[in-house]
Structure 1
Amino acid sequence: MKTQGKSVETTVEQVDVNLDELFSGAATADSITVADEDEKKPNIFAKKPEVDFSFTEDGSDDDSEEDDDSDDDAAKKPAGKKEDAASFLDSLDEEEEEEDEDGKTSKRGRKPIEGIADVVQKLIKEDKLVPFDDDKPFEEYTAKDWEELIEANLEERANQVRSETPKQFFESLPQELQIAARYVANGGQDLKGLFATLAQVEEARELDVTKERDQELIIRDYLSATGYGSAEEIEEEIELWKDLGKLEAQAMKFKPKLDKMQEEVVARKLEEQEMRRKQQEQASKQYMQNVYETLKDGALGDVKIDKKTQALLYNGLVQPNYPSVSGKNTNLLGHLLEKYQFVEPNYTLISEALWLLSDPEGYKSKIMEKGSQKAVEATVRKLKTEQANRASASLGVEKAEENSSRGSGKKKLTRTNNIFKRF
């Protein structure tokens, strides 16, 4: 396969080209548009110029001129800060003097509320409101003063209700529960015995003197309570009155006395608990006083204690700030005893504490004996160390003297005897 090539003819001519005319339309530094020196370049924080919409409003030329003037004035005014509600209310309280048309000066401010003073005085006379203890007249009260007065009365009423509610609740309880509540408030713990006594009182109160069975119970209980005699003697007396037809009359005679005696039993139980509570309070005060007297000198026997330890011991003995397994609070001593017995068992420490509490002198003597033994051991150890130091020092001196004596003498030779020497 053959390829055919085409021949191309070119003609070379010489032409004169003017470069200035050729590049006259190209961009140069002079053709770049720059901002004027007085004109600032806008940025994202710059405020956009306001658009004039005056052409959309109807009005005369005078109105438009006035609008233009107002716009100019608004533009000249600097942008002020926004006032919050608090500053606005405070400004109302500030009194400013202004001149009225007659030339008189008057004070402006929060004006007092008129018309409410008479109403409040009427409520105060009816004991529905309680006034303040100051001498400020009601006519000069402002809205804030009225608000404070109403809030104070509402708070006083709420406190009164809170204080009277427990009393009203206590009075609304049945007599038996009132007795039980008073018993518990005084520190009583034998609730089972108390309720048994209350049940016995209630049963005696419900006995009916018209029923023969209740009549016998009334007479039997009364004679037993008064110590009339043995059970057999009481039964004989009941049978005698029954035969004589005097059982009901005797029951009606003994019933009020029996009820009074049962009430006296309950009252006596409450008095005993009250006396026990007073005794506990007195014992507690005496205990705190004894602890104070023991620690006030800053020493426990012959041992001096610092202020920190003194405060720790006092608060740990008199302040029941720790929960106990019994459900009540206890002091630091009881807390630590329970802790090292049940929570974090440490029977060695508990045994030492028991030994100290049961036999203080024996425990202290053992501690002192152990301390003296350690002191003797330390002394013996110190003496042995000192003796060893002295022995090593003396041995060193002897060796030094021997070395010094050997080193100071010059070397000498032994003279040999001449057997032919004349004397």
Structure 2
Amino acid sequence: MSILKGIKLAMDGRILNRPGSGIATYAAQLREAQLSLQPEASLIVDDDCALHFRSDNIVTISKRSLEARFCNSQPALRQSDIGENALYAADIYRLAAARFRRHFRMTSLRPTVAETSGRRHLVHWSLPLPVRIDGWINIYTVHDVIPMTHPELTPMDAERHAKLLDIVMRQADHIVTVSDHARSEIIRVTGCPADRVTNCGVAVRPAGAGAPLPLSLRSKDYFIYVGSGEKRKNIDRIVEAHSIGGADVPLVLVGDHHQYRDKNLNIFCLPHQPEIVINSLIHHALALVFPSLVEGFGLPVAEAMAAGTAVLTSDRGALAEVAGQAALLVDPEDVDAIANGFRRLVFDEALRQYYERAGPLQVSKFSQAGFAKRIEALYAALAC
């Protein structure tokens, strides 16, 4: 703690008011870590963040977007009047996004927060945003480079994402990522020097079991998949493999997966659910099924293991790294291998119970306290 004395810590507040994604979960973890290091750590907010939320109509929003697009001034970052732990710049995230789309350049904020110790303050952006604070130490978390390595598997614009990472890498003081696999891919694809990229991991909490199960589901009598329908998530192969090897155990798909509703009478499709319901679904499942083709980390896998739920996942990349020997690993491109994984988890109770015991031990390395210590060590090294 002493090494950070006199240094103001801050992070972006853009994602914190948009819960429901892995990136939002990460941002919440980062916020908790910063507050554990410095209770007065600041959030950088604008009019669209929760702390400054206002209900604008479409005309007002369009006007603000147009103003942001053609504004060339350097925005000032000032202490917010809503509290001492908030720093405010008008429409900064909209402005930064618009400038990047139009000019492919970074937006620099002019700080008005005084440096009382003669040392540089530090801001940690929870994702690669095209914005920085002049004179501060700027750290960016890059979760993965999947749009560049597997453009066919994601809806993101690979060329635009490459340009964004290029300007972030050139202006960042340091890059943080979430797994060794993601780190090696970032270094390989972007050419960023290895000593400027650090894997700080993530924090994982076990899924609770507080909410009643929907659809008259019974505990330990269904498989579950939670996530998006992007091609990299491998839903088609999951559904096909379940029809071959799922026995009579239902498969529950949580998310926007209605197109699979009529594929099989033993598939249940649930729309996006509140976190408490998802946690309960994961906790009570026979197993989580997540043989994704590529991930930066794979939070559902870690959360299920933390809850003592068996996991079927991929035998490669970040997922194999996170799971270790505590999950059933299969070739995600082999439908028969996935189907055999379903069968083994249904009929081999001893194997399933082994994974239920091994999971919490494996993910104990991803505690919130451990995450905060890794963040603190990095901040201290950069602040010296």
TM-score range, shorter chain: under 0.3
| TM-score of the two chains, using structure 2 as the length reference | 0.20
- Rg (Cα) greater in structure: 1
Between structures 1 and 2, the one with greater helix share: 1
TM-score (norm 1): 0.19
